A and B are shown apart, each in its own frame.
Chain A
Amino acid sequence: MSIAAASNILEDLASRFGEGAVTPEPTLDSVPTFWTPKENVLEVLEFLKTGVEGPYRMLYDLTAIDERTRRKRQDQPGSDFTVVYHLLSFDRNEDLRIKVALKGESPSIPSATGVWSSANWYERELWDMFGVRADGHPNLRRILMPQSWEGHPLRKDHPARRTEMERYTLPLEKEVREETALRFVPREWGIYRTEGNGTEFMFLNMGPHHPGTHGIFRIILELDGEEIVNAFPDIGYHHRGAEKMGERQTWHTYIPYTDRIDYLAGPLNNFPYVLAVERLAGIEVPERARVARVMFAELFRIASHLVWYGTFAQDLGQLTPVFLTFNDRERAYSIIEAVSGFRMHPAWFRIGGVQSDLPKGWEKLVKDFIEYLPPRLMEYEKLVMDNAIVKARTRGIGTLTLDQAIDWGVTGPNLRACGIEWDFRKKRPYSGYDRFEFDIPTAGEGDSYARALVRVEEMRQSLRIIEQCLDNMPSGPYKSDHPLATPPRKERTMRDMETLIAILSVLGPVVPAGEAAVGTEAAKGNNTYYLVSDGDASSYRTRIRTPSFPHLQALPLMCKGFEIADHIAIMGSIDFVMGDVDR
C-alpha cells in the first residue's frame, strides 16, 4: 500500500481517461482513494478490473455516505451522497477506493452488475438504505428492510431512535397488508417463465423459520421434482440496524454492538472496529494487549468453527457431533469467562487495548484447552470427515471455481477452498500476526467438502497460535497511555483533568476527523469496518463489510442443478450467520 503504487495506478487512470479525470484524496488508512465523475465510473471500474497490471478483481464492498450534515471535509469535492466502491487486488495485495459524488434528493448511479456479479445485492442495499438508485439493475428492490418500509434508514434525516418515530401500532389490516407483501410473487422477482412446453415448476418457500437455514433466512426454491432450477434468497429478517446504531452510540459504547454482528465470534468483529478507531485516533496498542487480543480472537475462531462443525454434520443428518462440539465450545467459553466475565459476547476489546489484565492462572486454563482439543478433533475427523456418507454428500456438491468466487466477493475459508492462499493474517498482518508461526490451509476443489476441510484444519492452526500466545505473552500494560484510549487508565484519571472528564462525562473520546477502513480475517471471511469520523464523540458513518453477505448472495449459483438435500449441505458448508448477513 505504498504511495508509489498509488501514484502508479493514478498514472494508469490518467493515461487512459485523461489528466484530471480522477481526483486523488489523501486518507488516514493510506488506501488509494480516487474521486470519479458519475459519467465514467463504469469505465473506470471496468478498466481497473481488467485493464491494469495487477487488476482489482474483487468488488470488496460497495456503500455510500450521506454527506449532507458532514462538516469537516477537507480535500473532498462537494456532494450530498458519496458512493464508495472498495476494490481489492490479489496480485498487488492492495485495496482501492473509488468515490462518486452525487447531488440531489434522489440520486442514481449506473449499475455495476455487469462488471461484478456481487454488485447486485450491494446496489440493492444502496437503494434500500440510502435511496441511491442503480440504473440498469436487474431487480432493484429493498433487501434488508420490509418492502413496505417508508424512507431510507441510513439517510441522516431518518430517525435513529424509537422515540423519534411515531408510536408503532399494528392494526389488523396493516398486519394483513404486511403479510401479503411477504408472499412470494415470481413476477416481482423478475421471473416470467413461459417457455419450455408448458412445464411449470414448483416454488418451495424455505424459511425464514426452517430447521435447515441456520437462523431467520428465507430462500425460495424453484423445483423440478427435487432438483433446484433456481433459488431466490430473501434476507433482512435479522436486520437490527447496526450501522445506524454506530452513528448514535459513542465510539466506546458501540463495541458491544459489534460483538453481535457475527454473534458466534464476537471479538473477531471487535477486532477490525477497534483497529479502525485506533487508526483514526493514532493509538499504538501495547504489546501485551496485542497478543492477548490475538489469543482471544483465535479462541473465538475455534468456538465459531466448532459450532459450524456440529451444525454442518447436523445438516447432513448426523445427530451426535453437534452435541459434542457444543460441549467443547463451552470449554473455550470457560476460559473466555474467566478472562472477561462473559461467555458469548465478551466485549473485552477496548480502544487502545483490552478491558482488563489477564487473570491469575489463565495459563493453566489455556494449556488445558490446547491439550484437550486435538484428540477431540481427531475423533470428529473419524466421525464426520472420514465418513463415507458425508463424503458422498459433499464431494462435488456446490462447487465454486476461483474465478466465480472472486467475482462474487467470496472470502475466508470459502475462498481458500477454491485454491488461493488469501488470509489477511498473513497478507496484511495486524496486531502482530506476522510474528506467529502458522499455516494457511487451502484446498483446491472448491466444493462443500473442501470448505469443510479448510475449516477443520484452521482449528488446528488456531491452536498453534494460541500455544504461541501462551508461551510468549509479553508483560507490561494492557492498555495504551494515549489520552483517547477508552476508558482511560485509572492512574491517569487521578492525575490529569482531561481524562477524568472523559471518564465522568461521556465515557467516550472525540476521535479526530477522517476516514479509515481496517480489514481482518474473521471466522467466516474478511471483515472490514469503514469508519468516517467528523470529529465527534460518535462515528459519522460506520460501514460494516461482513463476509457472510456476499457468501449468501452466491448461494443460488452454488445450488443450481442440485437437490434439496444438497442445498442444505451447501448452506451448512458455507458457514454463514444471519447476524453477519443482515447486521
Chain B
Amino acid sequence: MQGIIASVLTIAFVLIALLTSSAALIWAERSLLALWQDRYGPNRVGPLGLFQPVADMIKIFTKDDWVPPFADRPVFVLAPAIIVITVLTAFAVMPFAPGVLVADMDIGVLFFLAMSSLSIYSVVLAGWSSNSKYALLGGLRGAAQMLSYEIFMGLSIMGVVLLAGSFNLNDIVEAQRNMWFFIPSSGLFIFFPAGLAETHRLPFDLPEAENELVAGYHTEYSGLKFGMFYIGEYLGVTLIASMITTLFLGGWLGPVLPPAVWFILKTGAVIVVFILLRASLPRPRFDQLMGFGWKAMLPLALINLLVTGGIILALTDAPVFPGGGNAEPL
C-alpha cells in the first residue's frame, strides 16, 4: 500500500514538474531568442515577463474550441493528445535523481525508443485528419523524417548500452561514475541531431516549416488542441535533453550539489543549445535532410557502434555482460 502511495506521489510530482518546466521553457525560449535577436521578448506580464506562459495558458484555454467541418473529427481530436501522452509516458523511465523515477525498467532505453516512435502518430494523424493539403504535406514530411531518424537514433544509443552493459537507465547513469559516456562513445553527436529531428525543431522543423507549409501538420489546429502540440513540442525537447543528460552526460551524477540539481542544470544546458541552434541555423530542404540522415548519419552511427564495441572488447577480457555472458533473454 505504501509502495502504491509512493508511486502515485512520484508520478504526480514528475507530472507537475514537467508541465511547469515546459511552461517555463516557453518563457526561456522567447527570452533567449529575444536576447540573441536584439529585442526585448516577453517583459509585460509579471517580473521579467515570467507570467507570460500563464497568460498564454489562459488565452489558449478560453479560445473557441473549433474543429474544421471538413476534418475527420475523432482522429483530429485524438492526434494532439497522442504527442503529449507518449512523451509524458516516456518520462516514466527517466531517473531524475537516485530513486526518483516512476518505473525502474530493465528495458528503459527500449521503452523510450518505443514511446518516441509512437509520437509520430500524432504528426501523421493530425496531417491526415485535417483534410488540408498543407497539413497533409507536413504529415508526410513528418512521417518520413521521423522514420529515418529513428533508426540511427536507436543505433547511436547502442554504444552507450554496450559501455554500460544494460538497457536500464539507472544502471547507465551508475556506469558513468568514472567517465561520462560522451567521451568514449561519440554517439552524442549522432543522437543530438536525431533528437532535433525527432522533436522537429529548427533546423529540422520541416513538418511545420511555416514559410513553406504555413504551419504544416497543425495548420488547421487552434485553441487548446494547438496548445497540446505546443506543449508537446516543449515536452519533447525536455525529453530529448534529459535523455542526452542521462545517456551521455552522467545523468544526476555530480559533486557537491544534490543530484536532482545536477540533472536540472545539465538538462537546462542542453535545452539552451537547442534554442541556440534554432536562433542560428536555416532549414535544409527535405531531400537534403533525408540524404544527410541516410548517407552521413547512418554510416557514422554504425561506425561508432563498431568502434565502441571494438574498444570494449580490446580493453576488457572479462565478459561484457554482467552475469558472465549468460544473460537471460529479455
Residues of chain A touching chain B, judged by Cβ–Cβ distance below 8 Å, are 202, 204-205, 210-212, 226, 313-320, 323-324, 327, 383-384, 387, 389-390, 392-393, 563-568
Contact = CB atoms under 8 A, between A and B. Distances in A.
Contact of B37 (A202, A315, A319, A567): A319
Given A211-B211, A212-B212, A564-B212, A319 B287 contact: no
A437 B205 CA distance: 45
Given A390-B282, A563-B285, A565-B286, A211 B210 contact: yes
Contact of A323 (B38, B202, B211, B287): B38
A212 B36 CA distance: 23
Given A202-B133, A211-B211, A564-B137, A317 B37 contact: no
Contacts of A315: 211
Interface in B162-207: 202-203, 205
A212 B211 contact: yes
B264 interface: no
B54 interface: no
Interface string B274-291: 000011111111111000
Contacts of A565: 209, 212, 283, 285-286
A348 B286 CA distance: 47
* Residue of B134, B137, B211, B280 with most partner-chain A CB within 10 A: B211
B203 to A, nearest CB: 6
B12 interface: no
B282 A393 contact: yes
Interface residues of B, number: 28
B41 to A, nearest CB: 11
B285 A392 contact: yes
B213 interface: yes
B214 interface: yes
Contact of B212 (A319, A389, A568): A568
Contacts of A226: 137, 286
A320 B37 contact: yes
Contacts of B281: 317-318, 387, 389
A390 B278 CA distance: 15
Nearest to B285: A565
B39 interface: yes
A231 B205 CA distance: 25
Contact of A383 (B38, B134, B203, B280): B280
B212 A316 contact: no
Given A317-B281, A320-B33, A392-B288, 15 more contacts: A202-B133, A204-B133, A204-B134, A210-B214, A317-B202, A317-B211, A317-B282, A317-B283, A320-B36, A320-B37, A383-B280, A393-B285, A563-B286, A564-B212, A565-B285
Interface of B: 33, 36-39, 133-134, 137, 202-203, 205, 209-214, 278-288
Contacts of B285: 392-393, 563, 565-566
A563 B281 CA distance: 20
Nearest to A565: B285
Closest 6 CB pairs of A and B: A317-B283, A323-B37, A318-B282, A316-B282, A212-B211, A565-B285
Contact of A324 (B37, B214, B278): B37
Given A212-B211, A317-B203, A568-B212, A387 B39 contact: no
B283 A316 contact: yes
Contacts of A204: 133-134, 137
A331 to B, nearest CB: 12
Contact of B209 (A202, A317, A566): A317
18 contacts: A226-B286, A317-B202, A317-B211, A317-B283, A318-B281, A318-B282, A319-B278, A320-B33, A320-B37, A323-B38, A384-B282, A387-B282, A390-B282, A393-B285, A393-B288, A564-B212, A565-B283, A568-B211
Nearest to A393: B285
Nearest to A392: B288
A563 B282 contact: no
B145 to A, nearest CB: 13
Given A563-B285, A564-B137, A320 B280 contact: yes
Contacts of A205: 133
A392 B284 contact: yes
A564 B285 CA distance: 9
A257 to B, nearest CB: 31
A319 B210 contact: no
Given A202-B133, A204-B133, A226-B137, A319 B279 contact: yes
Contacts of A568: 211-212
**Most chain B beta-carbon contacts within 10 A, residue among A314, A387, A564:** A564
B284 A319 contact: no
B37 A389 contact: no
Given A212-B212, A389-B203, A565-B209, A319 B286 contact: no
B242 to A, nearest CB: 25
Residue among A205, A320, A384, A565 with the most chain B CB within 10 A? A565
A205 B36 CA distance: 35
Nearest to A316: B282
Contacts of B282: 313, 316-318, 384, 387, 389-390, 393
A566 B209 CA distance: 12
A201 to B, nearest CB: 12
Contacts of B214: 210-211
Contacts of A313: 282
A327 B211 CA distance: 21
B38 A324 contact: yes
A513 B320 CA distance: 97
Among B39, B203, B283, max chain A CB count under 10 A is at B283
Nearest to A327: B38
Nearest to B204: A317
Contacts of A563: 285-287
A315 B213 CA distance: 11
Contacts of A393: 282-285, 288
B245 to A, nearest CB: 26
Contacts of A390: 282
A242 B313 CA distance: 78
A389 B291 CA distance: 13
A387 B39 CA distance: 23
Nearest to B33: A319
Nearest to A572: B211
A389 B292 CA distance: 12
A313 B281 CA distance: 10
Nearest to B288: A392
B164 to A, nearest CB: 35
A387 B202 CA distance: 15
A289 B203 CA distance: 48
Contacts of A212: 210-212
A564 B213 contact: yes
Contacts of B202: 317, 319
A389 B210 contact: no
Contacts of B39: 323
Given A314-B211, A327-B38, A568-B211, A389 B133 contact: no
A319 B35 CA distance: 13
A223 to B, nearest CB: 9
A60 B38 CA distance: 42
Contacts of B37: 319-320, 323-324
A245 to B, nearest CB: 33
Contacts of A564: 137, 212-213
A565 B133 CA distance: 15
A376 to B, nearest CB: 11
Nearest to B34: A323
A324 B39 CA distance: 9
Nearest to A567: B212
A226 to B, nearest CB: 7
Contacts of B211: 211-212, 314-317, 568
Contacts of B287: 563
